[in-house]
Structure 1
């Protein structure tokens, strides 16, 4: 899709509007999407990570959602180079990130993460920790390869998320995002394919939402009333791109309503291509349906500014630029409120500034080599 001559000024007008997420005012509609970067040895974000985020805030990104960062539970992760959101040195590093983003004029929330059954026994940062999940099942497996979580396990993870959220507010972040997407722990509870429990945490869609809703409620209790809670979710999973939490809007509402009631202030609806309709008979994408069903502010995401989805990047493929007129149309119709940009911002830290200044002719095609550096 080409960018029409009128698009540059129109993009600036539509994307420059501020938006409120509970007590936070985001200065514009551009969000940096969370993207895993393994540049934090020992789970500690260093000066290069500080610069990486501050550079994008200075170039006009209104809200930064950090890469996924592990909560304080031994089974939460699988790498010692992915940042953690617990521990004195780790939190000191994150405090520097938040301070520099604010100095550059941006706002920032950490994405709090537990990978659940994506973990394999023996992986760092805590090699002795078992893989745990709702039923001990990896995606696509019929037999357990890990441990089904006990009530004590559930309580420990809930506490870990709540403590991380409290730490985020204490060290100067503007809110938090809970990672409930892509086949990780919270999503493993939401999806029938990995949640085979017969207790109150399994069964119908509302029951499968109970664990995530309890995390949201615990976070809400630990932070101030105006501190925003974002919740990222998806239909697709790792290694199961066609998986779906909900086949109909009614099923989706059954999942989202308990999360909203528990205290979610905004949803982040993750799709591979934002321009694809979610359900038959409507042009609304997943973010559009999320706002229609919950009334909460919503972030859309999925190959913004590019013509190929991000899985191609992991195969070493690039993507050409793609116009955003359809995105602007939907924002004008208030189908959703913010737009998260991923690979285009990895490729070009100045992406937001170029779009807001009408310099769309300077936008760069994505090269897969951008994954390998922290520019």
Structure 2
């Protein structure tokens, strides 16, 4: 049994937080002792955490202020490996590990396209973290664990990080027995009692996710009775609703908020769409594939091309092209659901917990 520590800012609604909750549970299931440490607070993903995972909350007012408390914790608690997640948390963890003498056991993780993600948050402290991180990544003893090959290559191509400074590990998106488990009943009324085709998307209501392009594409569909549901929270809710109104599709477009079980919603949909401008390794796309539901994705950096085998599993369209996106969605909805269904499910199988845990254990402990 190994003692493992995962360091996060909180357990909010982001994909990284959800994946670390799943990874913590999968690592425990594999026979390890796992602690999940939150720098600032808990969050919506906390109830999903395996009860066998020890929780530590530093309750810092902000991530950067958590360095002294994290340093004391690392000095007092010895782990075989420590994993920090997300760039600004990585910088905090590196500082605390260096001060506590545990840097040799620290691993950090990049979850998104670094060259794109660094422009999302304008806060000075975040910008400083993104400037500092690549320099630290050259100095720390262990390579940065990237969520996809594309993320690893982007970090090397656009910063001072070298190929030897990066490695990869897959997200634990799916239960090992996902093929045998029927999806739960959906919660959205358009899916519970379907009367027309329904398209589903999942993600933060942010510029990165390209939902403005999706709504534009939706308005162009020849299937005039179709409905669109975008599950997620974010700052662009008002703008997206205004766009739907301006395009005359507001009554057929709904933004109901966060979905606690997106697989249940996607499984009843006629098509799932990933309209992102950039990604790391889109978990929602894997979840959609696991249901067998037809999918369409943008050829964005990074992830969809790897997951969809460059379009062999499901259609890929160019980013910010609503006409092409509309055509692909329309074609998928016009194709019998059974066509390529097994191909989609097989593509998702790479991201089951048991396999992902092995990629992480190899990255963290240097073994298979």
TM above 0.5, yes or no, is no
| TM-score normalised by length of structure 2 | 0.31
- Indicate the structure (1 or 2) with the bigger Cα radius of gyration: 2
